[in-house]
Amino acid sequence: MSLFKKVDELRSEFKQALASNPALSDLERLKQKYLGRKGVINDLFKQIKDVEADRRGEFGGLINQLKTDVQDLIDAQVRESHSEEQASDSLDVTLPGVEYTRGTLHPIESTLRDFKRIFHRLGFAVAEGPEIETQWRNFDALNFPPEHPARDMQDTFFLENGSVLRTHTSPVQIRLMLEEKPPIRSIMPGRVYRNEAIDAGHYCLFHQVEGLYVDENVTMGELKATLELFCREYFGEAVKLRFRPSFFPFTEPSSEMDVSCFLCGGKGCRVCKQTGWLEIGGCGMVDPNVFKAVDIDPEAYTGYAFGMGIERIAMMKYGITDIRLLFENDVRFLKQF
């Protein structure tokens, strides 16, 4: 058999072996047989010396072309085998479906959004401020006397430079009244801090929404009407609202706000401690001393302010018994919302 004919036969033999669609392991063995250091193509190169001198170049070219063709065909078959395996894996119809969980709003964020939506409809803008405040904005401008217990280290986080972590969002009211001329109508949502022992009902940080309305001839009646509209919108038309006399340094007169317990309908239960009422916040008319601190004439303007704790209301609405659950990021708890 001539060596030229042997090249043609090796080509035919290789194509026939490849036509059977061998597995990847068989392709590797086929590659070693033809292209390995001891493979048949390498043997052909060793036989170039046996070819007539004037045809050695032609014979060498045929061997090189065979080597290139074999390598290209094997590489193409390997790529095709990998693609088939991947397609087979991705299209395995026997596998169970993949369940994609859907995220929802945190109950605190959901409650904040409800507050903003309702008060926006009542004509209130939204104002925000820094969480690190001066003692003047956090206490002095709000008519807290020097001996007030809220200044004690047990209630307030004091920083080395004399600033404090705000204990309420009322400093934003001071900023507003310093920067804007009446009329002012805005709510102030945000995070506040108290140096308190942590238990089921208390945490070292929580969220508040405070409101402020300053204009000529603002009355306590307008305050009550605003809060009643809010409560009916948020808790439902059947809710009842009551005001109890109280004291806050920055409002005079001052009141605590209660709503009828929506769990028992006011009959008395464990949540409302058998009273039929749930406390939701405080309110009152802005004290004239606060107006004087921000250079607003208390003879020309009056105003009201109110504040509510977001966590307290979220816990009431969703039946949460431990405030710590709202801050622990436990997925088992959060996915219920």
Instruction: Clarify whether residues 82 and 113 are in a common domain.
Output: no
Greater pLDDT, 219 or 321: 219
Domain that holds residue 64: 3-90
Instruction: Clarify whether residues 196 and 319 are in a common domain.
Output: yes
Greater pLDDT, 238 or 221: 221
pTM above 0.85, yes or no: no
Instruction: Clarify whether residues 86 and 120 are in a common domain.
Output: no
The span from the CA of 39 to the CA of 31, in Å, is 9
Task: Decide which of 90, 118, 145 is a domain's last residue.
Answer: 90
The token duo for 20 is 């059977």
Instruction: Clarify whether residues 137 and 14 are in a common domain.
Output: no
The span from the CA of 193 to the CA of 155, in Å, is 9
Instruction: Clarify whether residues 175 and 203 are in a common domain.
Output: yes
Instruction: Clarify whether residues 135 and 173 are in a common domain.
Output: yes
Answer yes or no: is 166 within a domain. yes
CATH code: domain of residue 303: 3.30.930.10
At 210, the pLDDT band (50, 70, 90 cuts) reads very high
Average pLDDT score over the chain: 85
248: how many CB neighbours lie within 10 A of its CB?
21
Instruction: Clarify whether residues 123 and 248 are in a common domain.
Output: yes
Task: Decide which of 90, 117, 140 is a domain's last residue.
Answer: 90
Answer yes or no: is 97 within a domain. no
DSSP state letters, 262-307 = TTTTTS--TTTTTSSEEEEEEEEEEPHHHHHHTT--TTT-EEEEEE
At 237, the pLDDT band (50, 70, 90 cuts) reads confident
Q: Tell the residue number behind the tokens 């969703």, with chain if given.
A: 318
| Residue 278 · residue 316 · CB < 8 Å | yes
Q: Tell the residue number behind the tokens 């969980």, with chain if given.
A: 101
Q: Tell the residue number behind the tokens 């302010």, with chain if given.
A: 305
The span from the CA of 86 to the CA of 90, in Å, is 6
The token duo for 46 is 């060793």
Instruction: Clarify whether residues 322 and 212 are in a common domain.
Output: yes
Instruction: Clarify whether residues 148 and 57 are in a common domain.
Output: no
Answer yes or no: is 100 within a domain. no
User: Per residue in 76-132, pLDDT tens?
Assistant: 777 776 666 555 555 667 778 777 777 888 999 999 999 999 999 999 999 999 999
The span from the CA of 283 to the CA of 303, in Å, is 11
User: Domain count of the chain?
Assistant: 2
Answer yes or no: is 102 within a domain. no
The CA-based dihedral angle spanning residues 168, 189, 171, 165, taken in that order and rounded to the nearest 10 degrees: 50
Helix (H) or strand (E) holding 71: helix 56-90
